[in-house]
Amino acid sequence: MSKLTKLMKRGTDFLGCDTAIMCGAMSWVSERNLVSAISNAGGFGVIACGAMTPDLLDAEISETKKMTQKPFGVNLITMHPDLMALIEICGKHQVSHIVLAGGLPPKGSLEAIKATGAKVICFAPAAALARKFIRSGVDAIIIEGMEAGGHIGPVATSVLAQEILPVVANEVPTFVAGGIATGEMMAAYLEMGASGVQLGTRFVCAHESIAHPDFKKAFLRGNARDAVASVQIDARLPVIPVRALKNKGTEEFTAKQREVANLLDSGEVNMSEAQLQIEHYWAGALRRAVIDGDVENGSLMAGQSVGMVKNEEPVADIIAALNTEADAALAR
């Protein structure tokens, strides 16, 4: 058994795949084609449910199952109004792993997932919260730093890894995400106690990804410094920052925040509706860029590792390159 295989064993046993590389769910990008390609290549694909209705998720899981016999997961957003119905759909398909994103799991959701027989994975932004999740029955943890693409927290991956891995990695499999684009980095986190890694940005330009060619071109051109976090403009409206490549859409988001803050002021919406409007804005803007190819006005969610995405290549080649680099790093 190679050192890499040994370091990943806990992760591969937990996920039921050959290599403990998860492709993080990316709304609009992580659908049947990319998810099945990742799982078929020995990694772990995760369907991004995003704002899908239960019927759409039902169809997406069915189609993914036709394209792979290997395990894959489903990512559900905790604030989705139909969360319980989505869990039921996952249960109907006997989905093996559910990743809960977007904040604390609402009451009853963990129990509902457990009742389907699925394993639950949660994002933990701090050690204390990770421990709380484990006490409530969460099976694995993802720690994701602010280098990542999409919605982000305030702390860097390197700091989270030092703070959280020593506390939780012995208890449950813990996966590290955010800013990972090479096998060297993967190996470093594995040596610190991670059971595996989760990458998003690195897989956007895979051949099998259905992202629009112009979306992929923006990634191939982008540098780390172009992937910036959105700025909150109104203290009363807490907006989860989103990391994306700078474009006209970045300014449109500022205008959207102003519009929603005014609705909040006039009492036309309450805080949770205001936040939901912001999230709907992101989902729509991301769709415009990923699916329609409107890379000017849409959202180009991307992590800082975007500068290391150099070619469009098959998923299997990306995974093989990551593992070869990690093997070499561990042999040094």
Ligand X SMILES: Cc1cc2nc3c(=O)[nH]c(=O)nc-3n(C[C@H](O)[C@H](O)[C@H](O)COP(=O)(O)O)c2cc1C
Contacts (CB under 6 A) with ligand X, residues 206-245: none
Nearer CB in complex with ligand X: 180/186: 180
Rounded to whole angstroms, the Cα distance separating 195 from 190 reads 6
Q: x/- contact string, 53-82, with ligand X (CB under 6 A)?
A: ----------------------x-------
Nearer CB in complex with ligand X: 58/144: 144
Q: Is 200 in the site for ligand X (CB under 6 A)?
A: yes
Rounded to whole angstroms, the Cα distance separating 291 from 213 reads 9
Residue 167 CB neighbour total at 10 angstroms: 18
Rounded to whole angstroms, the Cα distance separating 146 from 137 reads 26
Nearer CB in complex with ligand X: 77/167: 77
Widest Cα–Cα separation across the chain: 64
User: Binding residue for ligand X (CB under 6 A) from 45, 105, 173, 179?
Assistant: 179
| Shortest distance, position 121 Cβ to ligand X, whole Å | 10
User: Binding residue for ligand X (CB under 6 A) from 11, 15, 19, 27?
Assistant: 27
User: Binding residue for ligand X (CB under 6 A) from 139, 144, 208, 294?
Assistant: 144
Element holding 157 (H helix, E strand): helix 157-168
Residue 35 C-beta-side C-alpha neighbours within 13 Å: 29
| Shortest distance, position 262 Cβ to ligand X, whole Å | 27
Nearer CB in complex with ligand X: 3/182: 182
Contacting positions for ligand X (CB under 6 A): 24-27, 29, 48, 50, 75, 101, 144, 147-150, 177-180, 198-202, 301-303, 305
